[in-house]
Structures are given as C-alpha cells and as structure tokens.
Amino acid sequence: MSLQPTCSIPDDIGQLSTDSLSRPLLKTYPKSVFGKQKRSFSSVLYEKHDFIEYSVKKDAVYCFPCRLFGAKTGHSQENTFTTRGFQNWKKTEKIVDHSYCKYHKDSVVAWLSFKSAAAAGNVVQQQMSYHARLVRENREYVKSLARIAIFCGRQNIALRGHDESETSCNKGNFLELVDLVASESKEFETRRAQVAENATYVSSDSQNALIEAAARCVLSKIQKAIIESGMYAVISDCCTDMVTDNLSVCVRYIDMDAGVVNERFLQFTELSSNELDAASVTEKIISVLQQGSRFQVPLQKCVAQSSDGASVMSGKENGVQKLLRDAVGNPCLFVHCYAHRLNLVLSVASTEVQCSKVFFDLLKKLIAFINGSCIRKNIFAKLQLNDPQKPSVLVLPDLCYHKWNFRERAISVVHKRYSHVLETLDYIAQNGKPDERSEAEGLLGQLKMSVNVCLLVLLSDLFTQLGSLSDVLQSEKCDLASALHLASAQTECLKMKRSDSHFAKVWSIVTVLAAENDIELSLPVKRVSKVPRKLRQYLTDTSTGHRQLEADESLTPSPETYYRRQVFFPVMDRLVTEMERRFGDNDGNSILRGIAACHPDSAEYLDMDVLHPLIDAYKLNTTGSLSSQIDVCKLLITKAAVKPTEILDVISLLKPTAGFPDLRRLLQLALTVPVANVASERSFSSMRKIRTYVRSSMKEDRLSGIANLTVENEVAKRIDIDEVVNIFAKMPSLRDNHNTDDLEDKNARRLQLLM
C-alpha cells in the first residue's frame, strides 16, 4: 500500500461564495533559483490569463475554474493548477498549454454557467424577479392613471367624452390626458403599448375605481383624524338637484395638537320619494358613518349635530335629532343652523313690516329690470365709469333670496350707486323701447319716494352690521360659544340703535342723499277720502283719529317725526324681537348656557354652577379634579402676557396637557359643537358644478367620489399615490356583470398585476 502526500489548498485564494479571483499586486514577489538564475512571479500574467490567481503563502499560481469546477466536468484533475500550485516561473508557457486542454475548457464552461445562473437565479427566482419587475412597471403605469383621475377630480373636470373611440378627435379629458402623458413620457408610452387589452385600466369602470380609491384615501385620513380627536359632530342637510333629493353628510372635529377646527365632507346619498321621513334620513346618516372598509367611526363618539330647521330634521319627538340622539347614546346636542336663523331674522324683518316689504319688492323689480338686459346693464356700468369720483363698477347681484348675503349686497350696491341707478332709469325712460319706458318711469318714481329713501339708508346700516355676523357664522373656525357671544352683542347693539339719537344720524344721511338727487322729503300722499253715503245729507263738523290730525295742519307731523314713528321704530322693533327670539335660546337651555360659559369673554366664564349641566350630561369630570383644573387655568390666564380671546387660545395655555385632561375635553366639546351647516351648503354648491345638465347620468358613487376630491381639495392633494394603487388593486371589478366567478377572476388578476 502506497501513500501519496496530500497538499493543502491555501486559504488566501478565491472562494466560490465570493466568485472573485485572488490577484494581489506586490512590489516584489518571492524569487526561486532555477539553475544559475533567480526568477519570480510577474503580474503581467494576470493580463495574459484571466483564469489564474496567485497565492502569496504558497508563492504559486492556481486555475480558478479548474480548482472549483473541475470535479463537476467528470475529468481527472490536474494537481498542478488545482491543489499543488504552479511555481515554474522559467516555463510559464505551460499556463498556455493548460488553457488549451479539454479539462480546462469544460471547467471554464461550468464556471460561466454558474455565473449566469447566479445572476439570473434559479427558475423560481427568475419567475419571482420577472413578476416583481412586471408589478413595478404596472404600478408606475397605474400611478400615472391615478394622478390623472385625481387631477380631474380635484379640478372638477369631466373625465368622460361623448365619443371615446380611437377615431374620435376628442375622447374626453381623461383619455386625452393619458395621450398627453404618453407623448411626454417614453416609459409610460412603452408600458401602455405592452399591457394586455383587458388590463389598460382606462375604461369607464377603471376610471370610477381610480376615483373611488382616491376618495377612500381622503376618507381614511379624515377617519384617522376623527379617531385621534376622540369626538366629532355630524352636519347634514338635504337638497334637490335635477335628478333626485340628496343628503349631504359632513363631520366637524378638532385637531387638539395643531389647534385647528376641521369641517370635512363625507358623502352624498340619494333619497327616494319614500325615504324623506326622519327614520330613513337617520338611517342614511348612520350608514355613512358606519361603512366598514370605506369609512368607519365610532357612533358613540358623535357629541352634537347640526341641520336646518325643517321639522323632519329638528323635530324633538320624532325628528332626526331625536332618533340620532337615541342611536349614539349621549345628549348629542342639536343646533339649528345659526346662519339659517340669521337669514330668517332678515327675512321676517323684510317681509312682516309693511313698508319694508314694499321696499324689498321694489328692490326685486329694480334688479330684475336692470339685470334682465345686457343693454341696461351696460348703461348702468357706463354711468359709473363716467363718474370721476366713483370710477369702479358695482354690479347688482342676481336675485336669490336663499343666499344669506343677497339682501345686504343688493341694498349696499343700490345705496352706494343710488344716483347712477336713478340716472339709468331716467335714461331708459327717455330713450328706451316703448315697453321699457313705462316700467322705468314707474321704478324711478317709486325709488324717489321719501319712505324708500329712508328705508334704503336705514336698512343699509342695519344689514351691513348683521352682515358681519353672517360672515362669522359661516366661518369654519367659528365655535358655538363665540357665536352665542357675538349674537348677544349684536342684539344689544340693535337695542342701543333704537333711539332718537341714532335716528337723527340716519335722517341726516337721508337728507344729504335726497339733496344730492333733488328729492324733496315729504309725507306720503294720502288719497282723498269720500264722505260716507249715510253722512252726505249732514254737515260734518269734526272727525276723529288720523282724520282729525290730517284735518288740522298744526297737528301734522314733520317728515322726520313721521318716518321715525312709521318706519324706523317698527323696523327696529321687529328686528330686535326676531334676534331675541332666534338667538336667545341659550337662556332656557342649560347645556347651551354651559357652552357659552366656555368663551373667555363670557360674564360666567368657567363658572362651575353654570357648567354642571354640561359636565354631567357628557360625563366630563372623569378624574374628579375638573374644578381644580379650572382654578389653575384661570390663574394661567391672569399671568398670560396676552389675554386669550378665543377658546383655542385658552387651550394653547394648558401646558402640560396631562395636567388638564378634563378641562381640555370640556373645551374640545365646546369647539366641536357646530354653529351652522355651512359645510353641507358648500358641498351642494360643488354638487351643482359636478352633476350638471350634461353630466346628469352620473351615479351616486361617482358623484360622491369626485365630490370627496373636489370639496376636500387640500386633503386630496396630500394623499399617498401608492396607497391609491393598493386600494385600487384590491377593489372588485365595477363592471355590471352578475357572474360572481368572473368578478373574482378579474379581481384576482388585478391583484396579481399590481401587488
């Protein structure tokens, strides 16, 4: 038995795991004696042979592929280049001879195959890599489509076209924007050409799905903010468009960390003719708040509600406010929209005082007459431009008594441009068409009547004052405590104006306005009364009441006295009475009174006796130390450099927050209770722009989805496009197909292509 020496392979040469050859570059290499000469390895051999590597420890050259892959070729190994190492620096041509042998060539082939497999992976790895690349490309393609859909939704641009065929010159905004992006992006154009015909995602169903996915992202952000806030209020209202009755549902909540009040739109839901009762409306509201995957907030966290004064919504026994309160299980305070209340105040003051009703009827006819013709509108505008003192052009607002600021705007324009209105009517009366002349003369005569001049000045002053209240009530940041405080202040101001001294100021303005326009202020002309038939045979010596005053000229009042009695006081009394009736309900409602006591300017600010009904109703004193927290808060307010004027200012002083848990919840509740349903009204304005006469076939889901992007434009601008694609990939096909298996296949195919 013969023993062969074993040669250990050095550890300073390349390994299979690294797939890199060891090729150290040294200044000098070790020399060995060959005959009479000393020779050494040269790095030039690296350049001549790309398969060799050098071991410093052994001072020898090895063949990398033969050493690692020779055994796999089935040939006997060459020990010189695999285990022992080549060291004959005198005959380096043997390396060339080695490169030509079959053993080496097979080893090189095995080495190259290994590198190729390592780069591409095995079959499973290659499939996974291909799928990942396909998904990545598909997602980038769908991201571009989603951005187009979101852009159209945010800008309220119609997506569909009348003719979307390939030969159409106008395929609709969505498809035209897709073509535009394709012309600017080669990657998008290439991917668009490569996708299968059933996976282009540009059909009407895919457009709806993209809009719905983006809308769900918007709702997801709102849902997260509400849950973090811990409480919210519901704002709802109904409106009829060209298609059906619609219910708008919005929410109000407070971001306590940022100190921001938010009112967000959630959804439009259609009401059929048999769903206009309180129970159906309540069920619709709850279904919007409890939609599962689309939107889901705890119902018991709803602490308040706001709507208009319709009996269906505001009924205390069977209205929506009662049914929703029972559903949420807390007091859920109902607030009749304060902006609607103010509009009712102005409406009553405008119609239930006879002289005021006649004046507004005249104002309505005047606006309809001038705005009813472009020629008459241009005459009114040119007369203003020709006036060097008033070069700006004011336009009479279109008739719309439902708009809260219509009356104030109309009176303001007529008052500021009174002389130009008279000149316009006078010009038309002289130069207009025959049918226009008589109407212009009639309007001119009525507008010059003393009673109407007096009402114009008086109502301009009153409506301008209340217009500021209207603007505040329509503000998203306005809270109920501030609204109650401001409404009370406005009522007190009106009471102060109901005085002879204030009428004297009004009358001085009336006198100046009348003098500037050559109007003689006089009493109304009374018709001559006939003697009763039964008294014609008798001689009447005296009369009673007004007839006695009219018969005695010494008892006839002056114009100033007459209009103070017959115009000023009746209008002021009616206005003050309505303000007290519409805005004085906090005196009889202990919860409203408690909310009003949260305002820093309230005379009962944070009075525990006043706050107790509110605290007990909503169980706000959870720690039992609310009274102590209020005492510390009042101390912080007295030491503050700037006295807080709003509830949010007080909240910013409550630091650290952990020291005022109950007080912060109390103030948060006072801010969460809505003042008006302006958010719903604004959503209806957007709805009229979205579902127009040419887009009247739009369904409820698409309408709500586009409205989410249009109304909540700011939130939609910040949504994550990757999240939109994720939701889109998981959404079932919206195609009208009753084959469940087919729907599941399409949904699975979309998931496979995008996830």
116 in a domain, yes or no?
yes
Domain shared by 332 and 440, yes or no: no
pLDDT, position 320: 93
Tokens at 55, concatenated: 């071991």
Count the neighbouring beta carbons within 10 Å of the beta carbon of residue 654.
19
Q: How far apart are CA 587 and CA 353, in angstroms?
A: 27
DSSP 86: B
Domain shared by 410 and 515, yes or no: yes
565 in a domain, yes or no?
yes
Last residue of one domain, picked from the residues 89, 120, 151: 120
Tokens at 455, concatenated: 């009402």
Domain shared by 454 and 359, yes or no: yes
Q: How far apart are CA 708 and CA 221, in angstroms?
A: 12
Domain shared by 556 and 484, yes or no: yes
pLDDT, position 491: 92
419 in a domain, yes or no?
yes
DSSP string computed for 251-268: EEEEETTTTEEEEEEEEE
Domain shared by 615 and 662, yes or no: yes
CB of 614 within 8 A of CB of 596?
A: no
466 in a domain, yes or no?
yes
Residue with more model confidence, 524 or 247: 247
Domain shared by 494 and 376, yes or no: yes
At 188-213, the pLDDT tens digits run 898 888 888 878 888 888 999 999 99
Looking up residue 263, the CATH number of its domain turns out to be 3.30.420
CB of 336 within 8 A of CB of 309?
A: yes
Q: Once rounded to an integer, what is the mean pLDDT over residues 598-615?
A: 91
- CA distances for 171 relative to 144, 157, 175, 194, 569, angstroms: 18, 14, 6, 21, 64
Task: List the alpha helices (DSSP H) in 389-540.
Answer: 406-416, 418-431, 434-447, 450-473, 480-497, 500-516
Domain shared by 712 and 653, yes or no: no
Domain shared by 422 and 448, yes or no: yes
Domain shared by 278 and 377, yes or no: no
Side-chain-side CA neighbours of 507 within 13 Å: the count stands at 18
Tokens at 546, concatenated: 């007004």
pLDDT, position 739: 44
At 343-353, the pLDDT tens digits run 888 888 888 88
pLDDT, position 444: 93
181 in a domain, yes or no?
no
Q: What's at 528, amino acid-wise?
A: V
User: H helices then E strands: how many in the chain?
Assistant: 34, 9
Provide Rg for the chain, Cα atoms.
43
Length of the chain: 755
Phi and psi angles of residue 96, each rounded to the nearest 5 degrees, phi first: -65, -45
Burial annotation 579-599 (CB, 10 A radius, 16+ → b, else e): bbebbeebeeebbbbbbbbbb
pLDDT, position 655: 85
> Domain range for residue 662?
600-672
Q: How far apart are CA 500 and CA 523, in angstroms?
A: 19
Domain shared by 409 and 488, yes or no: yes
Q: In 3D, which of 128, 142, 131, 129 has the Cα closest to residue 722? A: 142
Domain shared by 566 and 417, yes or no: yes
Last residue of one domain, picked from the residues 120, 150, 184: 120
Phi and psi angles of residue 237, each rounded to the nearest 5 degrees, phi first: -165, 160
Phi-psi region of 329 (alpha: psi -120 to 50; beta: other; left: phi over 0): left
Domain shared by 330 and 347, yes or no: no
Average pLDDT, the chain: 86
**Domain total for the chain?**
4
At 246-290, the pLDDT tens digits run 999 999 999 998 889 999 999 999 988 888 899 999 999 999 999
CB of 580 within 8 A of CB of 292?
A: no
pLDDT, position 213: 93
